[in-house]
Amino acid sequence: IGFAIPVDQVQPFIAAVEAGTASQSAATANPRFDRDPEPVAIGGPTIEGRLDESSAVLPDGSFFNSYVFQGQSGQRVAIEMDSDELNPYLILLSPTGREFQIQDNDSGGDANARLLAELPYSGEYIVLANAFAEGEAGQYRLRILPEGGQAAAPASPGEYILTTEGLLGSDNPTLADGSRYQEYSFQGQAGQEIRITLESPDFDTYVFIGDADRNILADNDDISAENLNSELVFTLPQTGLYYVVVNAYDHTGQGRYQLTVEEISQSTTDEG
């Protein structure tokens, strides 16, 4: 996949995946979602798959196969995709109507993909096993593994709530100042203290966190005068959905980034 899916497009995108409707030709600009997600289980066997002309197609012309699994709120999972024949790309989506997405290209090393996520809701999640480039085909292996202990356990201090790598480019949406951005979301607890870190070797980063109504709660440009990466520490005021926005400082910013959301301390209700 050569573009990012904005959060406000996640629900219609998932609906198209589930409905199985659109063009039969990967050569057209139309996406194709005519294959139902294949049921899989966390901790199940490695999936051997192939991306080619028989796969579903995203709007950028890249092939994908979709998988669905059951997850529990607070459950931590690792999703890994590797291939000797193509550049893997992973996308994790929630089909419940509540937006949640994580994308990853090469956290697995050697251009393989790996996602670590704490699931914010109980229900079904869709994994898209995707190729990075248009028309890229080949064999791949996919694994969905439990990560970090018991299924429904909340994150402990020092553990990641969200970690992902991505790319800001011409296909990302822009803010009023022309700077590119990408949204992510997570479920937080009142009183939970978190650290959000956004790093990039390619551009001057800017990060901010918003509540479920997209009111900006905190933001950060530079860690210091010498460090143009971004970091903020924030205590969540209430239990619910939060948005983290990966942003470039100005309209020229684009390139690779790494985002982490880490719990520093649990809420007082968790500790009791």
Per-residue model confidence as pLDDT tens digits over 167-190: 888 888 899 999 999 888 777 889
Say if residue 66 is in the same domain as residue 169.
no
Say if residue 168 is in the same domain as residue 246.
yes
State the CATH number of the domain containing residue 225: 2.60.120.380
Q: Is 213 inside any structural domain?
A: yes
Q: Is 23 inside any structural domain?
A: yes
Say if residue 49 is in the same domain as residue 139.
yes
At which of 120, 146, 172 does a domain end?
Answer: 146
At which of 116, 146, 176 does a domain end?
Answer: 146
- For residue 266, what pLDDT is reported? 66
Say if residue 133 is in the same domain as residue 31.
yes
Say if residue 64 is in the same domain as residue 182.
no
Task: Give the number of domains in the chain.
Answer: 2
Residue 261 or residue 73, greater confidence: 261
> Which range is least confidently modeled, 45-49, 58-62, 132-136, 192-196?
58-62
Q: Is 151 inside any structural domain?
A: no
Say if residue 81 is in the same domain as residue 188.
no
The stretch 134-142 carries a mean pLDDT of 92
The stretch 35-43 carries a mean pLDDT of 79
Q: What is the pTM of this model?
A: 0.48
Q: Is 82 inside any structural domain?
A: yes
CA-wise closest residue to 233 among 207, 215, 213:
207
> Which range is least confidently modeled, 31-35, 47-51, 61-65?
31-35
- For residue 22, what pLDDT is reported? 34
DSSP state of 36: P
Residue 185's contacts (CB-CB under 8 Å, 6 or more residues apart) are 7, 99, 100, 101, 120, 241, 242, 243, 244
At 27, is the pLDDT very low, low, confident or very high (cuts 50, 70, 90)?
Answer: very low
| Average pLDDT over the chain, rounded to an integer | 77
Percent of the chain with pLDDT over 70: 74
- For residue 236, what pLDDT is reported? 94
Largest distance between two CA atoms of the chain: 57
Say if residue 40 is in the same domain as residue 116.
yes
Q: Is 153 inside any structural domain?
A: no
Measured distance CA(132)–CA(86) in Å, rounded: 8
Q: 227, exposed or middle or buried, with CB in 10 Å at 0-12, 13-18, 19+?
A: exposed
The stretch 10-26 carries a mean pLDDT of 45
Measured distance CA(79)–CA(126) in Å, rounded: 11
Q: Is 191 inside any structural domain?
A: yes
Q: For residue 213, give its domain range.
A: 160-271
Say if residue 124 is in the same domain as residue 231.
no
Count of CB atoms situated within 10 Å of the CB of 16 = 16
Query: Are the C-beta atoms of 184 and 257 separated by less than 8 Å?
Result: no
Query: Are the C-beta atoms of 68 and 37 separated by less than 8 Å?
Result: yes
pLDDT > 50? residue 68: yes
Q: Is 152 inside any structural domain?
A: no
Q: Is 1 inside any structural domain?
A: no
Tens digit of pLDDT for each residue in 187-228? 788 999 999 999 999 999 999 999 888 899 999 998 988 898
> Which range is least confidently modeled, 34-48, 53-67, 147-161?
147-161
Say if residue 83 is in the same domain as residue 165.
no
Measured distance CA(151)–CA(71) in Å, rounded: 8
Measured distance CA(45)–CA(197) in Å, rounded: 34
Say if residue 17 is in the same domain as residue 132.
yes
The stretch 232-239 carries a mean pLDDT of 93
Query: Are the C-beta atoms of 127 and 65 separated by less than 8 Å?
Result: no
Q: 150, exposed or middle or buried, with CB in 10 Å at 0-12, 13-18, 19+?
A: exposed
CA-wise closest residue to 174 among 213, 145, 206:
206
Measured distance CA(71)–CA(63) in Å, rounded: 25
Say if residue 98 is in the same domain as residue 191.
no
